[in-house]
Chains A and B, each alone.
Chain A
Amino acid sequence: MTAITQRRRDSLRRYFSGLALEETLSGFLFATPFVVGFSVFIAYPMIYSIVLVFQNWDLLTPPVFVGLNNITKVFRDPVANLSLYNTAFYTFLAVPVQLGISFLLAMALNQPIKGRSFYRAGFYMPMIVPVVASAVVWQRVFHPEFGLMNEVIGWFGMEPRKWLWDPALAKPAFIFMSFWMIGRQMVIFIAGLQNIPQSLVEAASIDGAGRLHQLRHIIIPLMTPIIFYNMVMAIIASFQIFAPAMLMTNGGPQNATLFAVLNIYRNAFEYYNMGYASALAWELFVIVVGFTVTQFYVSRRWVYYETG
């Protein structure tokens, strides 16, 4: 017993004795902004928002205690459930295709073609366009009568569609729009591909492995950590889609593009129902964290980490 406590005391003493004391104090001091910032702007709001869940408050009149009402409402409200469905629909259709496109583009940019920096810049460019500006552009692309989209599908002999005005097509339109924003994923994949040792690929070539075989058995397995990382980040980001929906369709038509964050924003700043909005936000948080943790567990099966 005493040996362990003695060791613990020693380890603490490590920080507080003599010269190390200065380092420890400096460490605290320099980390203070983070500690303060985290407490004030992250931890305290999160705790406070739990308190809000049990109240109905419109900020103009005093808050009213409502017990578990907001929590049950979160599960019963058809609009809230619809918003989750919309978000899930969008995320689980958009992310796999995004990953596929960005991976293929990264592979293509890994080939000896000319002007690769230019292509890389071009594919990344849409990510720096402000979301308000790209919303305007895409509204024009999806215009039912004069839009680029209908023009292009007309070349393939298809009828013009109503896109953002059609409840069934609004979400697919958003999903398509998200393919424009694969620049970040692509750049990460490129970096990952560059890290694959040439020697492995060459050895496989010498042994007669075709390109496809190389892809399946060398490149993809080595890229799995990066694929996993991109997947996690893309899912977290897609779950939070807000600005395009608010700017282009405002949740319509018929609530087809009412995504979770937009619903929360509305309940908070349009209906001034702070308690219910907080409950919805916590629901989303639990879902996001749950998904991420699940992904980490499942990743043990398919992600191949090199030693170390």
Chain B
Amino acid sequence: MSTQKFSRRQFLLIGGSGVAVAALAACQPQAQPTTAPAKAEPTKAAAVGPTQPPAPKKQPDVDFFAWGDPVDVPAWNKVAEMYTQKTGNKANVTIGATGDFYTKLQTMVAGGTPPHLSSFQGWEWQVFADKNVLVPVDDQVKAAKLEDIFIDAPGDIAYTQRKGKKYLLPIEHPTMLMFYAKKPFQDAGLPFPKDDWTFEQFLEAAQKLTKTVDGKKQFGYQANGIWARDIHWMRNSGKQEFDNLIDPKKSMFAQPELAEIIQIVASDVYYKMKISPTPADLEGGANTIDTGNCAMKYEGPWYFTRLNNPQLRDQKKAVEFDVVIMPKYKDASRPHRCLTSGVAVLRTDKVDATWAFASYLVSYEGNKAYSEISGRLPNNPKGAEQDWVPRIKELHGVANGRAFIDAFKTSVVDVVGGVPRSKIWNEAAKPLGWDPLTLGTGKAVDVLPKVDTKVQELLDAYWATQPKS
């Protein structure tokens, strides 16, 4: 009957579309690199002349889970594109948002679908190495002669090696310095900060630069308000908040020198001296060094592009700025934090292919392209001193670029070990320490002992799972 045929067609139609949708839903979403497809196949075939290097081996595609800072994203894509053009192999760049980068990475690894290569900051990868998720790369580094990307300074060693083995391939060795916007200083008739300035001079300048002009608020200092960025001040007080910065066993936040400096930089700058916009204000984004409302900020090279680049200069929205090493406080050697970050190879079935891409990424050529786009400090001495310093002067107006390289010589690490810095922050330092401090509801001398108790708990819990040495 006609109705029978119709119903069967209907059934097939709906069933078919259901299957189609299910199939769409089930198919593994392909990582979409925004790079151009490989046009490199012809170049391999066109290898002519004895000086041509041997055609590179054809490797399977690798997945690179890349740090998603806006300045980095185009850089990753460019290097991946260059890699494909050079070797014909493909690296799929998938961006991880910075907010919960490590959570997502851990989910991917725990979920059975890890990337082959991942970005890491120097203090976050140790946990993964301990759990055997990462591959040590000493042999490969030696074979590829890439030793010069490692710097022989305590900070760098701690951030790239663990238990004598290299894991992290650095792509930058930045330090953080004091950025200052020139205009507020000029308007107030104050001289620019100099290398030999002191902490008291810094506070004084910040206070002089804090005023209200034409109803718009000006601040002398844009405080960061998080433990990581206050570490610099803490170390410069001559004390450190752990017994050992590598695999610490004891938490020592509540020392008088630390309490004193933390009180100033994490609380008083907002509420007592009022030289910085409050955290709530900063969250709104109206009063920052970017908008010209703050005179100074403790930042790193990744911040250059935000303040001053050719496009912004064309639109007359650029902020003229320069950098200076941090003011002298109690520690005469003036330690600065170094923040080596890079990539690490995960233990998958594609380690060789991954190494091929990773080694290109950190090689002089790849790193040069990366650094040019992202503005980050290159990982090798030649690139840093010969390429980067003049370039940042030209592109961003930074005359004192050498300060970054020099500061690295006295670099210290934040803390590395089996308990990652993020865990200490999220579970202890932030809720018990920095939240009340930055909100103005607690004093350092009161909250730091509580931070100690909780951090000690985390450390003890970690050491309880380790084999007794």
A interface residues, Cβ below 8 angstroms from B = 58-61, 143-146, 162, 165-167, 251-255, 269-272
Asked if A272 and B436 sit within 8 Å, CB to CB, the answer is no
Asked if B284 and A143 sit within 8 Å, CB to CB, the answer is yes
Report if B109 contacts A (CB, 8 A). Answer: yes
Of the candidates B100, B284, B435, the one whose C-beta lies within 8 Å of that of A252 is: B435
Interface contacts (Cβ under 8 Å), in number, total 57
Asked if A60 and B432 sit within 8 Å, CB to CB, the answer is no
Asked whether A271 and B423 contact (CB < 8 A) given A59-B110, A146-B284, A165-B280, the answer is yes
Report if B106 contacts A (CB, 8 A). Answer: yes
Asked if B103 and A269 sit within 8 Å, CB to CB, the answer is yes
Residues of chain A within 8 A of B430, CB atoms compared: 252
Residues of chain A within 8 A of B435, CB atoms compared: 167, 252-254
The contact sample of 28 A-B pairs, CB cut-off 8 A, is: A59-B110, A60-B106, A60-B128, A60-B131, A60-B132, A144-B280, A145-B280, A145-B281, A145-B284, A146-B284, A146-B286, A162-B280, A162-B439, A165-B279, A165-B280, A167-B435, A251-B431, A252-B430, A252-B431, A253-B431, A253-B435, A269-B103, A270-B103, A270-B426, A271-B423, A271-B427, A272-B106, A272-B110
Task: Tell me the smallest distance from the CB of B109 to a CB of chain A, in Å.
Answer: 6
> Chain B interface secondary structure, helix, strand, loop or mixed?
helix
Q: In the complex the two chains form, what is the Cα distance from A58 to B286 in whole Å? A: 41
Task: Tell me the smallest distance from the CB of A168 to a CB of chain B, in Å.
Answer: 9
> Chain A interface secondary structure, helix, strand, loop or mixed?
loop
Residues of chain B within 8 A of A252, CB atoms compared: 430-431, 435
Asked if B432 and A254 sit within 8 Å, CB to CB, the answer is yes
Q: In the complex the two chains form, what is the Cα distance from A254 to B106 in whole Å? A: 25
Residues of chain B within 8 A of A165, CB atoms compared: 279-280, 439
Residue of B nearest to A166 (CB): B439
Residues of chain B within 8 A of A272, CB atoms compared: 106, 110
Asked if A254 and B110 sit within 8 Å, CB to CB, the answer is no
Task: Tell me the smallest distance from the CB of A55 to a CB of chain B, in Å.
Answer: 13
Q: A167-B441, A253-B431, A269-B103 known; 10 other A-B pairs, CB under 8 Å? A: A58-B131, A59-B109, A144-B278, A162-B280, A162-B439, A165-B280, A252-B431, A253-B435, A254-B431, A269-B106
Q: In the complex the two chains form, what is the Cα distance from A165 to B434 in whole Å? A: 12
Residue of A nearest to B277 (CB): A145
Residues of chain B within 8 A of A61, CB atoms compared: 131-132
Task: Tell me the smallest distance from the CB of B15 to a CB of chain A, in Å.
Answer: 15
Asked whether A58 and B284 contact (CB < 8 A) given A162-B439, A254-B431, A254-B436, the answer is no
Residues of chain B within 8 A of A166, CB atoms compared: 439, 441
Residues of chain B within 8 A of A253, CB atoms compared: 431, 435, 439
Residues of chain B within 8 A of A144, CB atoms compared: 278, 280-281
